[in-house]
Chain A
Amino acid sequence: DTGVSQDPRHKITKRGQNVTFRCDPISEHNRLYWYRQTLGQGPEFLTYFQNEAQLEKSRLLSDRFSAERPKGSFSTLEIQRTEQGDSAMYLCASSSRWEDTQYFGPGTRLTVL
């Protein structure tokens, strides 16, 4: 399967703990995006990478959030000191540089107790 993959699919954590999610994009795509989706809302943009460079960050991405894509392949999204408001589906997507169509992974559902 050459689609976007994410790990884990589900994560339950206690408030104050740190969590890390991984995304593996479609192999030939050099752009990778992170979105957050809560119930009843469309996905909201968090950040994106072109190769290993983080080109844009949303103001939604507080200083507790950090994302990396060290070798321009997979990416990680870390949330430090989780809060209940962080509970959401975290979606990763990828695309080629000149293509608008983004292909989404299955998402990681985070529940903060």
Chain B
Amino acid sequence: EDKVVQSPLSLVVHEGDTVTLNCSYEVTNFRSLLWYKQEKKAPTFLFMLTSSGIEKKSGRLSSILDKKELFSILNITATQTGDSAIYLCAVSSSLGYGGSQGNLIFGKGTKLSVKP
């Protein structure tokens, strides 16, 4: 059965700290891995990763994928209280002809709390 496992499930840090969130997966016909941020409402898209070793970066957030070891990390540097949220990792799989399977398989999320 396809699954996505995130760790840690919760994390408390102080402003200015750097955090690393982990996501491992077991999915048939892997296509892409996505990171979302959820703040008491709908998940908002952060990154999509399809190739190993290529870092995606947006401001203080960055992410990388390792398709050999089947995991991804999300790094947040110089954390701020506004980074407090649940970070969700999701994986997409492909159909035989390369099209998208459709549904995303989500992990349980990592709840990040940033203290002032």
Residues of A within 8 A of B (CB): 4, 31, 33, 40-45, 48, 50, 55-56, 58, 91, 97-107
Partner of B104 from the list A45, A105, A107 (CB cut-off 8 Å) is A45
Taking the nearest CB of chain B, how far is it from the CB of A41, in angstroms? 6
**What 17 new A-B contacts, CB under 8 Å, besides A101-B34, A104-B44?**
A4-B42, A31-B102, A33-B102, A41-B109, A42-B107, A43-B43, A45-B103, A50-B102, A56-B103, A91-B42, A97-B99, A98-B99, A99-B100, A100-B32, A102-B45, A104-B42, A105-B42
B residues with a Cβ closer than 8 A to A are 4, 31-32, 34, 36, 41-45, 48, 88, 90, 92, 99-100, 102-109
Residues of chain A lying within 8 A (CB to CB) of residue B106: 42-44
Residue among B4, B43, B102, B108 making CB contact with A104, cutoff 8 Å = B43
Residue of A nearest to B109 (CB): A42
Q: Which residue in chain A gives the minimum CB-CB distance to B43? A: A104
Instruction: Known A33-B102, A100-B34; judge A42-B48 contact (CB<8 A).
Output: no
Cα–Cα, bound, A26→B66 (Å): 32
* Complex-state Cα separation, A105 to B90, whole angstroms: 17
A56→B102 CA distance, assembly (Å) = 8
CA distance A70 to B45 in the complex (A): 28
Distance A42 CA – B4 CA, assembled complex (angstroms) = 10
Q: Are B31 and A100 within 8 A (Cβ)? A: yes
The answer to whether A45 and B99 have CB atoms under 8 Å apart is: no
